[in-house]
Each structure stands twice: as C-alpha cells, then as structure tokens.
Structure 1
Amino acid sequence: MAETSDPAYFIGLMSGTSMDGIDAVLVSFGEDARMQVLGHHSLTHSTPLKRRLEALASNRGCPAELGEVDALLGDSFAQCALSLLRDVDLAPARITAIGSHGQTIFHRASPSPAFSIQIGDPNRIAERTGITTVADFRRRDIAAGGQGAPLAPAFHEWYFSAPGEYRALVNLGGIANVTHLRGDGSAPLGFDTGPANRLLDLWCQEHTGADYDSNGEWAAGGHTLPALLDAMLADPYFSLTGPRSTGREYFNRDWLEHYLAAYGSADPRDVQRTLAALTAETVKRGILAEQSPDSVFICGGGAFNPVLVREISERLAPARVETTQALGLHPQRVEGAAFAWLARQRLLGMAGNLATVTGADGPRVLGAVYPGGLGGSDTE
C-alpha cells in the first residue's frame, strides 16, 4: 500500500466480551502516518442475536447454528460500517480497508492446542460494503506460540507511548487488561488481569433486569464483602505471571457461583460492590507488579462507571488516573481504532503483535485479507 499525500481512511469494527453490540470507528492516516478519529457508530445487537451469541459462547450450539450466526453477524458488522459512513457522508470507495476483530465465542490459551474463535464472516463484510476487509487477527500469533491476546497493546505503544514517562493503559471491557508503556525504549508488557464488566453486567442483569449498572449506581448502594473478595482473589488465575489471557470461558456465572456458594447468603448490591473491588484490586496488582507508573489511563466501557474508576484510583494513589480522553482518544473508541490500525499494519506488511505481550516466538503480520470489489454497495 503506497503512502500518498491524501489521507488513507480505515474503519475498525469491534464487538467485545460483553456481546452487547458493535462499535465502528473511522480513522484517517495522513502522510506523516498520524491518526485522526473522524467518526464513531454503535449498533446494539438484537435480543435474539445476543442470546444466540451467548449460547455459542457457552459451548451450546451445533455447526449449523454456528454457521448461521456467523453469517448474520457478518451482515451486522457490514451494516454498522455503512451506517458510520452515512453519518460522516463518506463513500465506501474512499475507505482503504476495514479491520474487523469479529466476535469471540471461545478463547483458550491453554492447555495445548491453544485456539481462539471469532465469528462475523468477513467475506460478507467485504461483499456488502465493497471494502477490503482484514480479519482473523489472533490465530497467526497463536500458531507462532502466542496466546493471540491481548492485541491492543501494540496499538497502545504506537499511539499512547511518551519518552520518559511510564504510562499504564487499562482497558475495562468484559475482561480487564493492562499495558505497561515504560517510556524507556523497552518493549511494552501487557496481559489480561481478570474480569471487569463481564461479571458486573451478568450480576446486574440477574438481579435488576437492567443490561448494566448505569453509572455504578447499584454498586454504590452496597458494601465490599472482605471475605468474599479475599476468596476470589485466591483464584489461581490471579497468581499467573508472564503472558496471559482469559475470557468468559473462565470468568462466568459458574465461576462466580463457586465462590458465592462457599460464602453463603449476601445482599446482591454488596456482591456487586465486591465484584467492582475485585476488578480494581486485580488491575492494581497487574500494574504494580512491575512498578508504580507516572500516569494511568483508562478506556473501555468501564471508564464510564464512576464506582469502578474510583476504586481503581484509590488503590493507585498518588498516580495520576484519567481516561484516554486526556490523551486525545475517547475511551469508547480505543479498541475500534486499534483494529483500524491493525488493518493498516497488515496491508503495509508490518507486525501487529508484541511478543512480550502474547508470548509468540516473534513479531508477526496478523490478519487475512478479503478484497472488496464490485459486489459491495453503499446501501443496507
């Protein structure tokens, strides 16, 4: 892909562990390769589609169901991308490529063989939009001995690092992950620290009927249960070191029930507050296991939960804790922008992983390319 004086436009598509919908982020790269975010569009999954995704992610479903949901989700990704382009009045022909993370329905870092499955057929994205689509980012890293996750730290280094300043980036999605940007020229470190919105949302849905705890208001009415928190913190995952990744395959309702059954009865609001404390404490440990950073920047949906952010900030004092908005990128747009950047890396033939993060044998060019063409349109 040749660099020109005209900006190159890319779209990143992301659907995370919470499975609540799709985020599409439009970015441009100028001649100096600097990135600008030009637009963002969200598409909420329909209730029937979300239920089918959750069933597949719980290892319930036959090959026919997997194939059908893969196709339906691919169409939804395409719809979200096209809606974004209408929002900004930009023709699909102007877009160099779409980077689609897909929807993870199963991720297993161990035992061997490791694998990671994302669905949302990229052939359908390319066909419906007419835009070259890059997808399947994780499996090459896994084939090279890595865990295939997290992948965002390479983008974090490219966009957020600053010489001489130790920064920690915290993504609070369904799962929380931390990136260490040490500012001294050394390779970044990054890993999944444990659950974030995944368990908080699940517990809130079960006891209030709401999809999530808006502004952390329900948790704010509860109190942390120290014995329950200590029991959960003793889980073997939190003692792992080195490259590590996890997902809803591990941190799910069965995991939570195991600890609740041993604890006994509790006010649901107190459990919610304790889950927030669990996320905050494991994020803190993931950061301070290296050294105390100068600054901590938070992104992802959890950045909008004041209770969760306060729990983290208090544990990391006196470090400066802000959202990534302070560095010029809205916290809800970071992951979408990351996969737009990864698509660009793929077309340039440049590595998209960090071996110090995933544990791969070395840098690898990530993603498979699905060419756009005459089959696409700018209508849904």
Structure 2
Amino acid sequence: MPATAIHVGLMSGTSMDGIDAVAVTFAEEGVRLLRTHQHPWPSELRERLQLAASRHPLTAADLAELDSAAGEVLAEAALVVLDGLKGEVRAIGSHGQTLAHRPGGRPPSTLQIGNPAIIAERTGITTVADFRRRDLAAGGQGAPLVPAFHEALFRTTDRYRVVLNIGGIANITRLPNNPGEPVTGFDTGPGNCLMDAWIRQQTGQTMDENGRFAARGEIRPALLERLLADDYFRQPSPKSTGTDHFLLDWLNARLPAEPIAAADVQATLLELTARSIAAAIDHRTEQVLVCGGGVHNPLLMQRLDELLPCPVVSTAMAGLDPDWVEAAAFAWLARQTLAGQAGNLPAVTGATGPRILGAIYPA
C-alpha cells in the first residue's frame, strides 16, 4: 500500500459532542493531517443516542432505526472531509457510536452503532468498522484500542511517556522508553462524562467551558471519597469502562441527602477525574501527552499539573493536534485491517493474542 494513500477516520466518543472526521496520510515521519472537520449530531438524534446509552429501554426496531440514522450522519461527516481531496482514498475507518460497553458482563458485550454499509454506499469508499468485538471475542476488553496507534506515533527511547486521552471516559497508554518493555494502558474512569452530564442537568449547557462552573465551587471531600470508593478504581488492568457505568444515576446514588451547591458537585467531579487519572500514572513517567476534549479545560489541566511530578503537555508538542488523535487512530486501524495487520495490543486489552480488527465493507 503506497505511503501516500489517504485514509479517513471517523470518531464519536462517549461525550457525543460531535463526530471528529479526518483525512490523513501515514509515513515514517508521522501523520499528516490533510482535512479535519467536526460534524455535529442533529440535536434530536443526539438526545436519542444519549437516552439509549443511559440504559433507556429500546425496542429492536428503535435500535435498528438509530443504527441507520447514525450511519447517515457518519457518512455526511466523511463526505465533508472527502470533498476536494486529490489522491487515492484507500479506506474509511469508522468507530461508530458506543451505546454499551460491558466487558465484564455475562457474556461480555460491546455495541457501536452507525451502519457502515451506509457509509460505504454514500461515499463509494471501502469502510472498516466494528473494531472492538473481535478483541472482546478473543478474551480482551475491546478497549482501549488507540494505544497501538500511540505506540506507532509517540513511543521513543528518549523518555518514558504516557499518552492521556480525556474524552467522556479517560484512558492512558504507557509508553516505556525501554524497547523490551511492553506497552500497557487502560481506562482510568470518567473523563468529561460526569461533568458534562451534571452541567447539562443543572444549567442546560452541553459542557463546562474552560471549567468556569467548577471554578465557582469547592471540592467536597466526603463526596469525593464516596466517588473514589467505586470498585472500578481498584480493579487491576486490563480494564475498560463506559458511560453506561459512570452516568448520572451513578452520581445521584452517591450524593448525600443534604443539598450540595451544584458548582460544588461540579468541582468535586473535576477533582474525581484528575485524581483517578493521577493515580494511574506510573511514577517513572517523564512526560504526559494529553489529547481529547479535556485538554481544553484549563482548570483540569492545572490540577493534573499540580498532581503529577512530570510535565503535562498537549500532543501537539509531539506532532499531532490533540483534537484529532482518536480520529486519526481509527484511520490507522482501518489501514492495519486492510494490510492484514493486528490492531490490538494484548498487553493492553487482555486478549489472548494479536487480532486483525474490524469488518470490511467494500466500496
């Protein structure tokens, strides 16, 4: 496959704040971003997706309709970045929209919707999707999958790095500078999901821009202790989680009977994210590279800088804009699949071995 072949990546995370779409090329020197676009979910569809992800009951017909509707919007996002591109577009890698992720279930399960047949049909380009279920079938968590891309792009023998993605859920990738030491990683817990859900319930805003609402409040130590007592934080890795665990019902069950100022809850949720991330960072870490929406929350970044003994910087310092790392990763995973190469890291997910991920929908 020529290095100049273009790949498109589509990513919508647990925050459901929009679809990140990129067109990229890959070469030895790294990733070149050709086009980027954030495509909004139609408000009504977003609300339906959020309800579905929060354990709201669905009929099979409802789920089928959501799958097709999401597929159409994902195709729209791909068409925007494809418009005017010159060169061979080899494939689209679509993560889809996660509605459920329960690797510890009986049986383990995960569900990402966004019909990839529709994406292939609307764009005329081979589409690779459904990346998580093969790893799950092989005994893995099905997540996180981006660490293989982090290794390819950010690993160096110069320093021990950790890549921190703060989306709805936060996850880390440990990149030891010793080539003989395996890459590891896992979901640390909530990233933005609880903060987003709480401010939406309290004020109608979709996010706490620049952490201003949290900055008005005070951390409540007793509440923070109850939140950090969740069993997930003590589980050994490999592990992964989702917003079907860390959701408003989870928070409400831990709020005390006496009223707490909404801004105090927000401040405590931000501290929960920062503390759970910091607890997961290896003491050998010499640099933390941050990507995802959380990088734009200066209060959260300040707390991480205060809690960690090493520099905390954006992935832009290592050559890739933090807003597009995950979308670029799914373009890379599609490339891996078409090349017959594994896309998972068993040391990260716990799978019994490397696996070629995803299903291919030919043009």
Give the TM interval when normalised to the shorter protein: over 0.9
Is 2:261 the partner of 1:267?
Answer: yes
**Correspondence for 1:375:** none
For the residue of structure 1 that corresponds to 2:15, the secondary structure is coil
Distance 1:56 1:256 in 2: 18
Coordinate RMSD, CA, aligned: 1.3
Q: How big is the shift at 1:164?
A: 3.3
**Correspondence for 2:214:** 219
Is 2:96 the partner of 1:105?
Answer: no
**Correspondence for 1:65:** 62
**8 Å Cα contact 2:223-2:256 kept in structure 1:** no
Distance 1:351 1:370 in 2: 18
Distance 2:97 2:138 in 1: 22
Q: Which amino acid aligns with 2:342?
A: A
Is 2:305 the partner of 1:310?
Answer: no
**Correspondence for 2:332:** 341
Question: CA offsets per residue over residues 182-204 of structure 1, 9 Å max, x none?
Answer: 11011111000100110000111
Is 2:160 the partner of 1:157?
Answer: no
Question: Any residues of structure 2 matched to 1:152-301 within 5 Å, and which?
Answer: 152-185=146-179, 186-261=181-256, 264-288=258-282, 291-301=283-293
Decide which moves more: 20-29 or 97-106: 20-29
For the residue of structure 1 that corresponds to 2:199, the secondary structure is helix
**8 Å Cα contact 1:170-1:178 kept in structure 2:** yes
Distance 2:352 2:116 in 1: 27
Is 2:141 the partner of 1:147?
Answer: yes
**Correspondence for 1:26:** 23
Q: How big is the shift at 1:63?
A: 0.8
**Correspondence for 1:56:** 52
Question: CA offsets per residue over residues 46-76 of structure 1, 9 Å max, x none?
Answer: 1110111112212321111111111111111
Q: 1:351 aligns with which of 342, 350, 361?
A: 342
Q: Which amino acid aligns with 1:208?
A: T
Distance 2:104 2:317 in 1: 37
Q: Which amino acid aligns with 1:36?
A: R
**8 Å Cα contact 2:12-2:96 kept in structure 1:** yes
Q: How big is the shift at 1:112?
A: 2.7
Q: How big is the shift at 1:20?
A: 2.1
**8 Å Cα contact 1:55-1:61 kept in structure 2:** no
**8 Å Cα contact 2:19-2:74 kept in structure 1:** yes
**Correspondence for 1:84:** 81
Q: How big is the shift at 1:280?
A: 0.4
Question: CA offsets per residue over residues 213-251 of structure 1, 9 Å max, x none?
Answer: 111111111111111111111111110112000001110
TM-score by length of structure 1 reads 0.93
For the residue of structure 1 that corresponds to 2:275, the secondary structure is helix
**Correspondence for 2:111:** 117
Q: Structure 1 runs of 4+ off > 6 angstroms?
A: none
Q: Which amino acid aligns with 1:152?
A: V
Distance 1:341 1:212 in 2: 29
Q: How big is the shift at 1:33?
A: 7.4
Is 2:353 the partner of 1:362?
Answer: yes
For the residue of structure 1 that corresponds to 2:98, the secondary structure is strand
Distance 1:344 1:310 in 2: 36
Decide which moves more: 53-62 or 269-278: 53-62
For the residue of structure 2 that corresponds to 1:165, the secondary structure is coil
For the residue of structure 1 that corresponds to 2:281, the secondary structure is helix
Q: Which amino acid aligns with 1:297?
A: L
For the residue of structure 1 that corresponds to 2:255, the secondary structure is helix
Number of matched residues? 361
Decide which moves more: 161-170 or 128-137: 161-170
**8 Å Cα contact 2:154-2:318 kept in structure 1:** yes
Distance 2:333 2:214 in 1: 36
Q: How big is the shift at 1:81?
A: 0.8
Unaligned segments of structure 2, at least 5 residues: none
Distance 1:340 1:38 in 2: 12
Question: CA offsets per residue over residues 12-40 of structure 1, 9 Å max, x none?
Answer: 0001101122110111124x474211121
Unaligned segments of structure 1, at least 5 residues: 373-380
Q: Which amino acid aligns with 1:223?
A: E
**Correspondence for 1:378:** none
Q: Which amino acid aligns with 2:296?
A: F
**8 Å Cα contact 1:164-1:184 kept in structure 2:** no
| Percent identity (aligned) | 50
Distance 1:273 1:34 in 2: 38
TM-score by length of structure 2 reads 0.97
